[in-house]
Structure 1
Amino acid sequence: MTRVCAHVLVVDDDETVRDVVGRYLGAAGHEVALVGDGPAALRAARESPPDVVVLDLMLPGLGGLEVCRVLRAEGDLPIVMLTALGEEDDRLLGLELGADDYVTKPFSPRELVLRIGSILRRTGTLAASPVLTDGALRVDPAGREATLDGVALALTTREFDLLAFLLAHPGQAFTREELLSQVWGWEFGDRSTVTVHVRRLREKVEADPTAPRRIATIWGTGYRYDREG
């Protein structure tokens, strides 16, 4: 079962944005509530207090700045604002009202998830990611360090993210499209990017990269991480 890290309230009048952000947060292990206007945001926050709010500034019924003002007056709830490029004055006002961070549209859903995780760790809501192990392989997501037989692995940022993701989901097969979405934060992209990174990872974590035992190819699907033993 997926570990629920935090309860996140997402407020945006764009159904597509709500859906995408909700899916990414859910994949990261968070419990997500989605609403589309200001009054609904206040009701949801009062009925089931979230750990953090993702708040669009342009909302029907009650604007995001007013929602931010009310929420901040009622408690010390972390707020991440979503703003358009031309809303600099509103963005600054939102920060002055107590918003913790902002993300400018168009934005990377993966970046938003990382920002939320950072805020939750600072507030003590989200525990640091556990160290992942598989035999002599050790991956520390919080410290961004991976070792094999006690020797540090020279991994690029994406190689590390891919290894940590696969190791966190042993026995589960993922398509290249799913890995592009979950690891790269891309809804569209060249699937060969995943193929190349898997090949490079195998060269670093497999005893014999030509006969991989950890990162298995599932023909017709994609890849699966198989733990030792």
Structure 2
Amino acid sequence: MPKTILIVEDQQILREIMKEYLLDEGFRVVEASDGSRALELFHEHEIDLIILDIMLPELDGWSVCRRIRKTSNVPILMLTARSDENDTLLGFELGADDYVVKPCSPPILLARTKRLLENRQIREPGDTLSGGGIAVHLPSRTVTLDGKLCSLTHTEFEILACLMKNKGNIITRDQLISKIWGYDFAGDDRTLSSHIRNLRSKLGEHACRIVTVVRSGYKFEDRP
């Protein structure tokens, strides 16, 4: 069954270009030109990924992202015409998984979309990672802390799963970036740092399990 992509972009020409590329790749596409309509469509359809512009009428992309993150960890790829670092970091803090600066190359946008969806593929049933009071169930993409459900974004989940799969071993920043975003990642270390900071915040007292190894990367430890 084809994956469904929600495109939220107020510029019709750009929206049509993105839609054409996605349809050619076999995706199903629904589209909105403003934030309010985007939320309506999100609740009407089973959405697998959202391509979300920041500057929108009715309701901006940040507000849309914030509202969706209250109930869903669907991958969100943000589009921004702004190159300001603070704008980008704000998007990550609100739960965005990746971003592309406009004007963007459709093939690059398509590659980022596929990457996020590939990382979300269902694993074999019973595939569970655990340690230090944290349990990650890969098939359902759920995380529990001492038995209590913890809601993570797509990217936060991928980072935690990657570290727990390599428990006790150092994973370099470059290795994490390659795993989560691919070799064509256009961001920098601050993007990864922002997601790590958000992940630790959600893990609360379990945040100590993610250990920073200076000038190397990170590792997951059962014991603080």
Q: TM-score, normalised by structure 1?
A: 0.52
Corresponding residue to 2:109 among 112, 117, 121 = 112
- CA offsets, 1:148-177, max 9 Å, x none? xxxxxxxxxxxxxxxxxxxxxxxxxxxxxx
Deviation at 1:16? Answer: 0.7
In 1: Cα distance, 2:84 partner to 2:17 partner: 22
How far has the Cα of 1:49 moved from its partner?
Answer: 2.6
Q: Are the equivalent residues in 2 in contact too, given 1:65–1:90 (CA < 8 A)?
A: no
% same residue: 42
- State yes or no: 1:57 paired with 2:81: no
Which residue in the other structure is 1:208 paired with?
Answer: none
Distance (Å, rounded) in 2 between the aligned partners of 1:78 and 1:38:
17
Pairwise CA distance, 1:118: 0.6
Contact between 1:24 and 1:113, CA under 8 Å: does it hold in 2?
A: yes
Among 5, 9, 16, which residue is 2:2 paired with?
A: 5
Tell me, yes or no, if structure 1 residue 14 matches structure 2 residue 11.
yes
- Per-residue CA deviations over 1:93-121 (Å, capped at 9, x if unaligned) read 01111111000001011111111101001
CA, structure 1 residues 6+100, in 2 after alignment: closer, same or farther (shift >3 Å)?
same
Q: In the TM superposition, what are the counterparts of 1:174-185 in structure 2 within 5 Å? A: none
Question: C-alpha deviations, 1:174-216, integer Å up to 9, x for none?
Answer: xxxxxxxxxxxxxxxxxxxxxxxxxxxxxxxxxxxxxxxxxxx
1:85 Cα offset (Å): 3.4
Q: Distance in 2 between matches of 1:86 and 1:41?
A: 24
Quote the Cα distance in structure 1 between the aligned partners of 2:32 and 2:21.
16
Q: 1:39 to 1:87 in 2, by over 3 A?
A: farther
Q: 2:90 aligns with which of 93, 97, 107?
A: 93
CA contact (8 A) 1:37 1:60 kept: yes
Q: Distance in 2 between matches of 1:14 and 1:88?
A: 23
Task: Show the 5 A alignment for 1:180-195.
Answer: none
- The 3 A distance-change label for structure 1 pair 87 and 19 is farther
- Which string of whole-angstrom CA distances, capped at 9 and with x for unpartnered residues, describes residues 125-166 of structure 1? 6xxxxxxxxxxxxxxxxxxxxxxxxxxxxxxxxxxxxxxxxx
Give, as a single letter, the amino acid of the residue that structure 1 aligns with 2:114.
Answer: G
Aligned residues: 123
Amino acid at match of 1:113: L
Choose which of 48, 61, 74 in structure 1 pairs with 2:45. 48
2:62 corresponds to 1:36: no
Q: Matched residues in 2 for 1:109 and 1:102: separation? A: 13
107, 111, 120: which one pairs with 1:123? 120
CA distance in 2, matches of 1:55, 1:87: 17
CA contact (8 A) 1:58 1:64 kept: yes
SS at structure 2 position matched to 1:50: coil
Structure 1: where are the runs of 5+ without partners? 126-229
8 Å Cα contact 2:5-2:47 kept in structure 1: yes
Taking only aligned residues, the RMSD between alpha carbons, in angstroms, comes to 1.6
Q: How many Å separate the matches in 2 of 1:24 and 1:112?
A: 9
Runs of 5+ unmatched residues, structure 2: 123-224
